Structures are given as structure tokens and as C-alpha cells.
């Protein structure tokens, strides 16, 4: 299979590196230094069974390349549109686009580039940490969960399962991927959002009554939206799970908090913002989520010195 992985960070390197074992893989990144390093040295993955070097092709420009069978997006969601706009030659009449990005609602952007029947939404249990250009420690492995917005009429999933499985990825196909996406989203739209605004570790949330009250309110709102969409959402079960996550990883730092701390734009629009957009479609009130989105954007602009 011809595959383009856009974004050569930790997760992109894990997928692009391993998929290159039995597929024609192009790593696409805007950093010339990263691309040059991968072209010379390959991708070095420190994996549970040892250190391995993989050698996908790496490019900063895809101009002149033929369309691929599959594009895997591993850029931050706020850069998805730019990533696809900047690489139009990768997209042909049979190209599928897979997002394993954080958050929800990515199909709104992806559908500008490919029809909805060629959009694949998913989550991954893999994780990793970048140690340097083309050098990643793979921290854990697990299922790559995927599903389509429509039926797989062209039987793409069997091809994808073979391509991924031959490279050591466990592909699990779901008939309704939305439930899995929202199960993961509940943590991000509550715990992540509050730690970001307060700029605190995850353990603080359950140790402070005010922080916990806000977190619980966010869970109630998100669960109400999920139920309005026809999904399952048990408020008390979600609250118990979020509480356990906070207590298990008291020094944990969420991605939105890290982005605000380091002066970067966050993915709040595809995390908390996705709840707001879904709520508008369903006619559910989510005032706390609306507050969170506005507050995070205000903090982003403050850090960038905007007026």
C-alpha cells in the first residue's frame, strides 16, 4: 500500500517507521532538519523488544508524487487544513484519509478534501516520546481503533488491516467509532480543559473542591450531548473514571496545559470546541464548555502578546 504520513513527530514516526516495513511510505513534514535526518539516518525507535531503525522516504514537498492509497494525519488538528491543502497531489479519486488525532469533529475539515465515504476516524493506544529528530521512545502499544462515517462499500478495511497487521499494528474496526471517540473525549473535555485553565497538575483537580466542581459540570454537559447524539453516557461512571485518572497520575500534565504553558496554540477547538458544535446541532446547552473555549483562546492570545 502507498501511504503518506503527514507529521513526523513521535506518533507519526512510530506509524510511518513501522508501516514502512511492508508498505511504500512517505513521511511528510515541514521541518527540513527532521526530513534530512530521516533521509540520512532513518527513524530510530526504541521499542519494548529493542532498538530498531526504519527507512521510509521523507520529504518536505510532495510536488510531483502520485496519489497515495492512504493519508495518515499526525499533525495537530489545528494544522489539518494546511497539511492537506499543502499536499494536494497526494489525494486521488481513491485516496482515503485517516485521522488518529485528539478530539472530535475532524470530519468537518477532512470532508473539504475527500468525500465522507473515504474518511476514517480513529484512536490509538500507542504512545511515544520524541527524543530528537527521527528518534522516538515507544512507550506502549495497543489497538488502532478505526471506523468510517459511512459503510465500507469498497472494502478498504481488509486491505488496511493487512497493511497494518503485517507491520505489527493491531487494527480493530468499529461499526460506530463515535462511541469510542466520545469515551476518550470525556477525559479531554473535563480534566484536560480544567488543568489547562488553572495551569495545574492532574492531581490538583480532585484535591480542590472548586476545580472538581467545574470538572463534574463539564462531564454532565458533555454526557448530555452524547446522549442527544444517540450515544451511551453514564455520568456517574464517567465521573468515577476521571477521578481515578486524576488520582493515579497526580503529576500528569495534559496537552492543552502544556501548550498554554509553552506559548503554543492548543487543540481546544477540536476538544472542548467539538462539544460546543455538537451541542448546537442537538439543541443542548453547554455554557461551561463555551466558557472553557473562550478562556483558553484568551490565554493563548495573552501569551502571544495579542491585543
pLDDT exceeds 60 at position 125:
yes
Query: Which candidate, 154, 142, 141, 145, places its Cα nearest to that of 114?
Result: 154
Given a cut of 60, whether residue 307 has pLDDT beyond it is no
Distance of alpha carbon 241 from alpha carbon 83, whole angstroms: 35
Burial of 90 (0-12, 13-18, 19+ CB in 10 A): buried
- Give residue 127's pLDDT band: very low, low, confident or very high (50, 70, 90): confident
What distance in Å separates the CA atoms of residue 146 and residue 153, rounded to the nearest whole number?
15
**How many whole angstroms separate alpha carbon 300 and alpha carbon 259?**
9
**Tens digit of pLDDT for each residue in 169-184?**
999 999 989 999 999 9
Give per-residue pLDDT as tens, 52-83: 999 999 999 999 999 999 999 999 998 999 99
Number of neighbouring beta carbons within 10 Å of residue 210: 9
Query: Tell me, what's the pLDDT at 141?
Result: 77
4, burial (CB in 10 Å: exposed 0-12, middle 13-18, buried 19+) = buried
Q: How far apart are CA 162 and CA 171, in angstroms?
A: 9
Three-state DSSP at 289 gives helix
The confidence score (pLDDT) of residue 268 equals 95
Strand partners, 71: 4, 97
Q: Residue 280: its pLDDT value, please?
A: 97
H-run or E-run covering 11: helix 10-19
Structural domains present in the chain? 2-175 (3.40.50.720), 178-303 (1.10.1040.10)
For residue 306, is pLDDT > 60?
no
Residue 207 has pLDDT above 60, yes or no: yes
- Tell which residue, 128, 161, 130, has the closest CA to residue 144: 161
Q: Give the mean pLDDT of the chain.
A: 94
- pLDDT, tens digit, 9 for 90 and up, residues 248-259: 999 999 989 999
Amino acid at each position: 500500500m502507498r501511504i503518506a504520513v503527514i507529521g513526523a513527530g513521535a506518533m507519526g514516526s512510530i506509524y510511518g517507521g513501522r508501516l514502512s516495513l511492508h508498505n511504500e511510505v512517505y513521511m511528510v513534514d515541514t521541518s527540513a532538519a527532521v526530513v534530512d535526518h530521516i533521509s540520512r539516518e532513518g527513524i530510530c525507535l526504541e521499542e519494548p523488544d529493542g532498538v530498531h531503525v526504519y527507512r521510509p522516504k521523507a520529504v518536505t514537498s510532495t510536488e510531483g508524487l502520485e496519489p497515495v492509497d492512504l493519508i495518515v494525519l499526525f499533525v495537530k488538528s489545528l494544522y489539518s487544513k494546511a497539511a492537506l491543502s499543502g499536499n494536494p497531489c497526494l489525494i486521488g479519486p481513491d485516496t482515503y484519509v485517516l485521522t488518529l488525532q485528539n478530539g472530535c469533529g475532524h470530519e468537518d475539515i477532512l470532508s473539504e478534501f475527500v468525500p465522507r465515504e473515504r474518511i476514517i476516524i480513529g484512536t490509538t493506544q500507542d504512545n511515544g516520546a520524541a527524543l530528537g529528530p527521527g528518534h522516538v521512545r515507544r512507550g506502549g502499544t495497543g489497538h488502532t481503533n478505526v471506523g468510517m462515517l459511512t459503510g465500507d462499500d469498497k472494502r478498504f478495511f481488509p486491505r488496511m488491516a493487512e497493511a497494518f497487521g503485517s507491520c505489527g499494528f493491531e487494527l480493530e474496526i468499529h461499526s460506530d467509532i463515535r462511541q469510542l471517540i466520545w469515551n476518550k473525549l470525556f477525559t479531554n473535555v473535563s480534566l484536560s480543559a480544567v488543568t489547562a485553565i488553572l495551569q495545574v497538575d492532574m492531581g490538583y483537580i480532585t484535591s480542590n473542591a472548586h476545580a472538581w466542581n467545574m470538572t463534574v459540570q463539564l462531564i454532565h454537559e458533555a454526557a448530555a450531548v452524547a446522549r442527544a447524539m444517540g450515544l451511551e453516557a453514564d455520568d456517574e461512571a464517567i465521573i468515577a473514571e476521571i477521578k481515578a485518572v486524576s488520582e493515579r497520575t497526580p503529576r500528569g500534565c495534559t496537552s492543552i496545559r502544556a501548550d498554554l504553558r509553552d506559548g503554543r496554540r492548543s487543540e481546544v477547538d477540536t476538544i472542548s470546541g467539538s462539544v460546543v458544535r455538537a451541542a448546537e446541532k442537538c439543541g443542548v446547552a453547554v455554557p461551561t464548555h463555551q466558557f472553557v473555549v473562550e478562556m483558553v483562546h484568551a490565554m493563548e492570545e495573552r501569551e502571544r502578546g495579542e491585543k
